[in-house]
């Protein structure tokens, strides 16, 4: 996914965030995203009947939104909680990858 499409997607969703959250994100950052997004021809939509996690959203967009939340919105305690969660999720993710790309297991599975 191109960065200009990604930032257009991020901005589409940020438009539906509470003003109190938007206030905390630096204007300069949003302006840069806006400049990049201006070149995007991609279209992104919000489904108003669904919550944020169930929106049709790319994984990269979810990551950027999460990073913005962590960096500019979360307080110190929340940051610790989020960081811990990211580390735990990473372990699970590495296990998943190992399982998926484990050569021996692939061969074993094919034999079965």
Which one among 39, 63, 105, 107 touches other proteins, defined by CB under 8 A?
A: 63
How many CB atoms sit inside 10 A of residue 38's CB? Answer: 10
**Residue 106 tokens, joined:** 């692939």
Element (H or E) spanning 110, and its range?
helix 103-111
Q: Which of residues 72-111 bind other proteins (CB under 8 A)?
A: 73-74, 78-83, 85-87, 89-90, 93
Q: Which is nearer to other proteins, 34 or 105 (CB)?
A: 34
How many CB atoms sit inside 10 A of residue 80's CB? Answer: 11
Binding of other proteins by 58 (CB under 8 A): no
Which one among 42, 67, 106, 107 touches other proteins, defined by CB under 8 A?
A: 67
């Amino acid at each position: 996914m191109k960065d200009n499409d990604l930032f257009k997607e991020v901005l589409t969703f940020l438009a539906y965030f509470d003003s109190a959250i938007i206030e905390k994100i630096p204007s300069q950052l949003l302006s840069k995203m806006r400049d990049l997004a201006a070149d995007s021809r991609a279209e992104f939509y919000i489904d108003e009947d669904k919550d944020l996690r169930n929106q049709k959203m790319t994984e990269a967009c979810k990551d950027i939104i999460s990073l913005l939340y962590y960096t500019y919105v979360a307080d110190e305690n929340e940051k610790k909680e989020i960081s811990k969660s990211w580390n735990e999720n990473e372990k699970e993710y590495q296990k998943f990858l190992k399982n998926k790309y484990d050569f021996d297991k692939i061969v074993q599975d094919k034999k079965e």
